[in-house]
Amino acid sequence: MKKPFTFLISKDAGRLLTLMLTAAALLCFLSFWLFRLEELPGLHGDEAWFGLTANSYSEKGIKSPVGMTFYTGILQSLVSFITFKYFGIGVFQLRLPGVILNFSALFIAVMIFLKYQKYRMLTVFKLLIMQSSIFVLYPKLAWEVTTFSYLFLLLQLGLFYIIFSQNRPRTITVFAFLLINLLGSYNHILFASLPLALLIGIGIWVYLNNQVDKHHVTAILAVNFLNICVQVLYLKFLVNDIWASYGNGIFVIVPVLLFFESIFIKQITITVTPILVWIQRIKIKPHFFNAFLLLSILAFCIFHGLSISQVFSNTALITNLFSYQPSKPMHLLATACGFFLFGSFLFLLIKNIVAGDKNLIAILIATYLGVFSLFTTGTSIRYYIIPSIAIYLFLSFELDKKILPRFIPVCILVSASISLVILTTQLSDVYLQSDRKVKAIEIVMGNKTRETSAHFLSTLELRRFIRDHQIGNVEYDPTERYFIEKPISFYKLYQNQKRAAGKSIFVKYNYQTLGNGFKIEQKN
């Protein structure tokens, strides 16, 4: 006879508890992302630019497939245009696509973990993203990288897994993989570091394990990266000529070409395979590849180690978005947790490489770190969206292993739990106060890169001052004009303001005293 209440400690009960907690976590994410979405953080100049561009589509149509620079696309403006069309113009509508797409990505990720019954891995991953300010806060911003990166990453990895696990992947799967990679790289060039890392990493793994049956994967990845190179050249040098000839038709032509490419991928693989077999015969010692992977990790640590540790501590991003300064004890504890988390990741990754067990995930992650450092040595916080998620996925895989000494996962999970408590406390301070006094704060990241919270200051009180005093002319500090003027211009699209021609003010950021973050000087 079974003892009473044994179901409470059974495996099924554990799974049920995991499902319930996961559903609660999803609800918490969605609720927080929607909470005060229009107010916090303050509207950034780049967000306003995307909104103004989206509004121009309804008046003038799409004039170019290029975004703010040649290495960014117009996907953010397009989704904002759609929400404006159906829900009206506003900051909430501008940021809504980011919430929807990131929540969709999170939901898909959860379903994948559940499908393969990776309950422990799901629990770890869930904790890591819940304590991560970069995942909790960035979906609330209307930037191209914050709106699409996580979804494109998830789709890319999911399709790659299908291609990798099948000897003859279906045409539609190959087409979807090529299209997602092209869209991701079109959205922002930094995404292209992923396809290149996959190509190099798989090449190393295939060579070390003599996996000749995976040459089709290498061929598809090579074609994929070649597509991205052609796209970059087009956007850099040929965009005006080709756009003038085909216009919006280019958005139809490219998918059609990719589909035909997918149909002929088998023939491409047959053509490329002899070259890959010849390369396989070249004798290269495994130590060479280990050295390459370790150098890749070292390069990332040199250029990005300090900055991503600051990102993992959460204080850098919270200060950047909300002009929030935690107490020194809180800051030190959060910093310690961030550095410990990144240090634990490095320890487990290097342990895998040095052990020489040819772990595919470790090889891909190490390669990605090196390629990412090749793409950029800049340390803007927004650059670490994909590296952060990649690191959290790796830690989730590693902590799911039963061969690790127990103290390693315990220490990592305790550190992440402390970080979650600190993050929750700090966000409560920010979101539950309606009249918080702030000033612009400068943040020094790794490589002496400087970020400022000034660009996320709310312009509400500034706009009220302009309205109440009927200011007709606003002058700005030339170095700060874009980040103040663009948000005000966006609000003008749906908020009428009376102005008097004779009244003029000079506006700049206030880094000295607490208030609304701006210095306003009346000129007459």
188 DSSP assignment: B
Place of tokens 């087409």: 175
Q: Which tokens go with 116?
A: 């393969």
What is the per-residue pLDDT for 276?
Answer: 67
Largest CA distance in the chain: 90
What is the per-residue pLDDT for 5?
Answer: 40
C-alpha span between 513 and 508 (Å, rounded): 13
Looking at the chain, the whole-number percentage of residues with pLDDT higher than 90 is: 55
Residues 6+ apart with CB under 8 A from 153: 105, 184, 191, 194, 386, 389, 390
- Name residues of the chain where pLDDT drops below 70: 1-12, 14, 273, 275-280, 497-502, 524
Domain residue ranges of the chain, discontinuous segments joined by +: 8-35+42-158, 457-522
What is the per-residue pLDDT for 8?
Answer: 40
What is the per-residue pLDDT for 364?
Answer: 95
What is the per-residue pLDDT for 499?
Answer: 64
Q: Residue 506: beta bridge partners?
A: 475, 521
Helix (H) or strand (E) holding 451, with range, is strand 450-452
89: nearest Cα among 111, 65, 57: 57
List, for residues 212-264, the tens digit of each pLDDT value. 778 788 889 999 999 999 999 888 887 777 777 777 777 888 889 899 888 88
Residues 6+ apart with CB under 8 A from 116: none
452: nearest Cα among 433, 477, 425: 477
Place of tokens 């117009």: 74
Q: Which tokens go with 448?
A: 């002496």
In terms of DSSP bridges, do strands 450-452 and 518-522 run parallel, antiparallel, or are they unpaired? unpaired
85: nearest Cα among 35, 51, 37: 51
